[in-house]
Amino acid sequence: MRIVLLGAPGSGKGTQAKRLKVELGIAHISTGDLLRAAVKDGTPLGLKAKAVMEAGQLVSDQIVLGLLEERLAQPDTQSGFILDGYPRNLAQAGALDDLLARIRQPLDAVVKLNVPDADIVRRCELRFAQEHRADDNPATVRRRLAVYAEQTAPVADFYSRRGILTEVDGVGPIESIGDRVLDALRSRVRA
């Protein structure tokens, strides 16, 4: 099964992707992790990304898509994968569709975790207190939520029009949310 997990920052995408990886036995792909690994390993795309980041700029969609294409060529993705938090905008969604069509691995499902902003802020405040992640301080979280609403939320409409979007309530115990995600995926497979 080939899946994209969407949701606002702090909605639980990473947590649910890790659970799905175990439950479904498919690769979990985080573009942030890919980028960090490529830079650390000094791959050709990693060196390009490093130069861009050292210049204080954002890594281009083209570099991220190249990293993703390299990752999707690895054997562990042939039985399926979970993309965690990518695509983040409509341009990336279109480019991902083109890539997946070219490599003949179209998406089976897109799951959007719906969590109210107030709950996300609370979750991130707790994580900030425990882990001291700079991107989890309340002011940063509110800015990230505004960017999500403007740039990433329309991606859900893109996939809804294609008939592959399922929305799941992302509030409650992690296990309950995971069960809802799995139920949504299983019903999509049966359909």
CATH number for the domain that contains residue 23: 3.40.50.300
Q: Identify the bridge partners of residue 83 per DSSP, sorted by sequence position.
A: 4, 29
Residue 65, domain extent: 2-190
Question: Per-residue confidence of the chain (191 residues) as pLDDT tens digits?
Answer: 999 999 998 899 999 999 999 999 999 999 888 888 998 999 998 888 888 777 777 788 999 999 999 999 999 999 999 999 799 899 999 999 999 999 999 999 999 999 999 999 898 888 878 887 777 777 888 888 888 898 888 999 999 999 999 999 999 999 999 999 999 999 887 75
In contact, 79 and 26? CB cutoff 8 Å: yes
In contact, 4 and 83? CB cutoff 8 Å: yes
Total Cβ atoms within 10 A of residue 17:
23
pTM: 0.88
- Of the candidates 111, 95, 91, the residue with the CA atom closest to the CA atom of residue 154: 91
In contact, 10 and 136? CB cutoff 8 Å: yes
Tally of domains in the chain: 1
